[in-house]
Chains A and B, each alone.
Chain A
Amino acid sequence: MRTIPQPKAPRPVPAPDVEFLDPEGRSVALRRWRGTPVILVFLRWLG
């Protein structure tokens, strides 16, 4: 009986290396949170 090969799960890719501003306007890189799982939520308008 022929075995149907199962596709391998895709390897996770690095997230973009981006920077943000904190509420005080200071630059903070996303890599600052390396070592911690992160949920990143990009909002629409703040209305």
Chain B
Amino acid sequence: MREQGEALERLGAVVLVVTFEPPSEAARFAQQARLPFTMLSDPDRRAYAAFGLRRGRWGQVWGWNTATAYLRGLLAGRWPRPPRGDLGQLGGDFVLDREGRLVFAHCGRDPADRPAVGQLLAALRTVAGRGD
């Protein structure tokens, strides 16, 4: 997503990244990762719940998809950090139009289940095409 900054700018979109960690941790992460997006916190996970994002079962969190995702990371030189925090909380990706309506929704079924950035951009383009 970071590499699609120009495309996002052309589409006039903003990327909001949400964590359930407290604001201080969110700020630390955003600074260390040099995140070019707005970082927000949802420590009570009310927004997570409102968008249908739940905690995964053990088999969802530590399944085959997760193992292969970590393996790909290792092969790319990314060592996993020691686990801390709630490993069970699943993530998701959503696209909202200018009226605050959902035009794309993806609730992750396991930690590695995320939509391709192209899918998010395609959803944004439908919004731009409608002139919303």
Give me the interface of B with A, judged by CB distance under 8 Å.
1, 8, 11-27, 29-30, 37, 39-43, 46-48, 50-51, 53, 80-87, 89-103, 108, 111, 120, 124, 127-128, 132
Contact = CB atoms under 8 A, between A and B. Distances in A.
Given A18-B50, A20-B42, A45-B85, A39 B100 contact: no
A21 interface: yes
Q: Secondary structure at chain A's binding surface: helix, strand, loop or mixed?
A: loop
Contacts of B83: 45, 47
Contacts of A42: 18, 42, 47-48, 51, 53, 91-94
Interface of A: 12-16, 18-25, 28, 30-31, 33-47
